[in-house]
Amino acid sequence: MAFLDLNNLSHQYFTKSGFTKAIEDISLSVEEGSFVSFLGPSGCGKTTLLSIVAGLLQPTEGQVLIDQKPLKEQKASIGYMLQQDYLFPWKTIEQNVVLGPYIQGDRSEAVKQKAASILSEIGLGNVLQSYPSQLSGGMRQRVALARTLMTDPKILLLDEPFSALDYQTKLKLEDLVSNTLKSYNKTSLLVTHDIGEAIAMSDSIYLLSANPGRLSKKFGVPSHLKTLSPFDARQHNDFNALFQDIWKELNKLE
């Protein structure tokens, strides 16, 4: 049995002038510990899909099951990383990172220690008392990752988390996030418009067609690419072949 099941998800947005169908009849299952990416043209409902899995949005049809249990019963088991870090500028890095446990009522000393240890693991052990404005974009996105990991989410949702970064930082962060998530054995869903990023990081890739968003094709990443770090995977010969395949499929969709 799969760890995460999406069953016949559909969602409509209503406006004064009518409604738009963001996603339609999406069903898929994800194994525990695996990394899945969603690629597609803009307007294919990628962010809607993540919001539904995060429990922030109630789908008009279908349901999300984690370990065969409906999502509502285990809301806190999801971590969400956004396009930008959205750190609270008036909180210190430490206060930002402990936000999740803090909201859930855990203000113990152990939480602070955990925050410090996660931050030092990703190379940010010395900025606990700094404010977000003192950090670079890449550092801030790493802090956002730490904040997401603090609540021990079973599933991590990544909504184009590297799109606002410069290329070099992005490559470095891909490696860091990929390694971190592997070492914590997290199940991850990544939404992106970057084909290379999807191949380098994922175990499998779903292509979505637009208006309404529908699953159009699934690509499996070859196992020897999976084991490589994202940066090394980008250098591998098979990377380009897969890139070309996906590129052609994506062009057909538009």
Partner 1 sequence: MSKTPLSDQKRFEQYERRLKKEKQSIRVWQVFICVFFFAVWEMSSRFQWVDPLLFSSPSKITNLLVKKFTDGSLLLHMQVTLFETVAGFLLGTFLGILLAAILWWFPKVSKISDPYLVILNAMPKVALGPIIIVALGPGYFSIIAMGAIISVIITTIVVYSAFEGVDENYLKVMNSFGANRYQCFKEAVLPASFPTIISTFKVNVGLSWVGVIVGEFLVSQKGLGYLIIYGFQVFDFTLVLSSLMMIAIFAAIMYQLVERLEKRLIKQ
Q: How far is the CB of 236 from partner 1 (least distance, A)?
A: 34
Closest CA to 195 of 242, 231, 227, 158: 242
Q: Give the nearest distance from C-beta 46 to partner 1 in angstroms.
A: 15
> How far apart, in Å, are the Cα atoms of 10 and each of 13, 177, 224?
10, 30, 35
Q: Which is nearer to partner 1, 18 or 89 (CB)?
A: 89
For partner 1, give the closer residue by CB, 119 or 200.
119
Closest separation in Å from C-beta 55 to partner 1: 8
**Which lies closer to partner 1 via its Cβ, residue 56 or residue 110?**
56
Return the DSSP state at 215: E
Residues of the shown chain interacting with partner 1 in the complex, contacts defined by CB under 8 A: 54, 56, 75-76, 78-80, 82, 84, 86, 88-90, 99-100, 103-104, 131-133, 151
Between 155 and 171, CB nearer to partner 1 = 155
Cα angle at 224 between 222 and 229, to 5 degrees? 110
CB of 215 to partner 1, least distance (A): 24
DSSP three-state, residue 141: helix
Beta strands in the chain (DSSP E): 4-15, 18-30, 35-39, 61-66, 69-70, 78-81, 155-159, 187-192, 204-209, 214-220
Min dist. Cβ of residue 132 to partner 1 (A): 8
Return the number of the residue (97 or 198) whose C-beta is nearest partner 1.
97
Please measure the distance between the N-terminal and C-terminal CA atoms of the chain and give it in whole angstroms.
34
